Copies of this chain bind each other. A is one copy, B any other.
Amino acid sequence: MPADPLKLGIAGIGTVGAALTRLIARQAENFARVGRDIRIAAYSARAAGDRGLPLGEAAFFADPREMAARADIDVFVELIGGADGVAYDAAKAALARGLAVVTANKAMLAAHGLELAELAEQTHAPLAFEAAVCGGVPIIKTLREAMAGNRVRRVSGILNGTCNFILSKMETERLPFDVCLKEAQRLGYAEADPSFDVGGFDTAHKLSILAALAFGARIDAEAISVEGIENITLADLVAADELGFRVKLLGVAAATGHGVEQRVHPTMVAKTTPLAQTMGVLNAVTIDGDAVGALTLVGPGAGGDATASAVAADIGDIARGGAALAFGRPVAALTALDRVSLQRHEGGYYVRLSVLDRPGAMAKIATRMADRSISLDSIMQKRTGADESPYVSVVIVTHATTETSIREALALTMQDGFVRDKPQVIRIERP
């Protein structure tokens, strides 16, 4: 282990970058336990100046690409963000020089992770990204290293704290989606344009990285079927509660008989599971491995300090010379997954329909299900809203069936003419 300090160049002094500089100053002694001092030798930001941060004698670079290409550093810490542009150019420049790269940039990894990992292999440079998925939760290290002896069967997780905050608040305070989204925005959990989070796209980026680690898959974010939480109503959460479930936006990558499914959608999970019990802005991931069984990690998925903690763990691995290959194996050993159509998904379903309250309606719906060999776990009718409404809410929970069957049964039910509005369909995930 080299005795000279490990020199960091930090690109991007925002919330995470500022937290990281403070963490390194605060933990200097603790950090040294890995056998090597750690020092911030350079930084890059929109403007020079230490803004009260312990940047010491660190050299300022206006352009992170220049820092990556020329600064006297060992590790390029990329905290700029964005899939392309400056972050991507700078990361490539650093790896090309043989510098270690630590990044929190999930969008860049989802788009260019394989190319960057190949470049890292060529120059024998570590590429680490614990902070890119689930903030402070060490899910990358766990999948890459702790699961070495396992064949992973499924990874499922709450990967977006914004969505989990909204769904938790809707359920516990019995509030509609819009009110909870506004509250998330007020608290800084959600962007002014929340569609990237609530639409499930952020979760999909993260899932593509987890699937690569869990299944040795080439990153393929396009292969992920994505549904967001925009259409989840309080009525669904109340019905879920009565049925023993909670609704969570999950990213799921699962080995099935016809390939690895990769999907992001609102999901009914049993209240007794660790994922269901994860409330608020926390993240949680359950890994199901053939040797270990189910292993769950729960913790803060965002925030400056928690994310800096993950960046620091990567830096620690690099300092002691223990960094693994980016995806736990050479990029050449990763295989392209077949794109598994969600039509072939098998599982239980929750369906909520607004049905004209007349004799025979329930029987007709049940028959449509039976015609597609869908076995029902329960079917219950609830009056909603004003008592004089001619419509009632019918909630159906099915045993395992296929997406195709449920969609066909619902299409025929719609044709029967006594169902108002588009049916609400939520997949059930059983552990």
**Given the complex, which residues of B lie within 8 Å of A149, measured CB to CB?**
23-24, 27, 30-31, 308-309, 311-313, 315-316
The smallest beta-carbon distance between A335 and chain B, in angstroms, is 11
Stoichiometry (number of copies): 2
Q: Is the CB of B277 within 8 A of A291?
A: no
**Given the complex, which residues of B lie within 8 Å of A150, measured CB to CB?**
27, 30, 309, 312
Q: Which residues of A (272-309) have their CB < 8 Å from a CB of B?
A: 272, 274, 277, 279, 289-300, 303, 305-306, 308-309
Q: Is the CB of A306 within 8 A of B323?
A: no
A62 at the interface (CB under 8 A from B): no
A148 at the interface (CB under 8 A from B): yes
Q: Mark A25-36, 1 if CB is under 8 A from B, else 0.
A: 011001101110
A312 to B146 Cα, complex, angstroms: 8
Q: Is the CB of B299 within 8 A of A298?
A: no
Q: Is the CB of A295 within 8 A of B136?
A: yes
Q: Given the interface contacts A149-B308, A328-B34, does A295 sit within 8 Å of B293 by beta carbon?
A: no
Closest to A24 in B: B149
Q: Is the CB of A299 within 8 A of B293?
A: yes
**Given the complex, which residues of B lie within 8 Å of A290, measured CB to CB?**
26, 305
Q: Is the interface of A mostly helix, strand, loop or mixed?
A: mixed
Of the candidates B19, B291, B310, B325, which one forms a contact with A306 in the assembled complex, judged by CB atoms under 8 Å apart?
B291
A182 at the interface (CB under 8 A from B): no
Q: Given the interface contacts A138-B146, A149-B315, does A299 sit within 8 Å of B309 by beta carbon?
A: no
Of the candidates B31, B148, B325, which one forms a contact with A315 in the assembled complex, judged by CB atoms under 8 Å apart?
B148
Q: Given the interface contacts A31-B149, A141-B146, A329-B34, does A295 sit within 8 Å of B292 by beta carbon?
A: no
Of the candidates B274, B291, B309, B317, which one forms a contact with A292 in the assembled complex, judged by CB atoms under 8 Å apart?
B309
Query: Which A positions have Cβ atoms within 8 angstroms of B?
Result: 19, 23-24, 26-27, 30-31, 33-35, 130, 136-138, 141-142, 145-151, 216, 272, 274, 277, 279, 289-300, 303, 305-306, 308-313, 315-317, 320, 322-325, 328-330, 333
Can you identify 12 A-B contacts, CB atoms within 8 angstroms?
Answer: A23-B291, A30-B149, A31-B148, A31-B149, A136-B291, A138-B145, A141-B141, A147-B309, A148-B315, A149-B316, A291-B305, A296-B298
- Ranked nearest first, the 10 interchain pairs of A and B with the lowest CB-CB distance are A149-B312, A148-B316, A33-B329, A138-B146, A136-B292, A295-B299, A291-B309, A292-B309, A322-B322, A296-B298
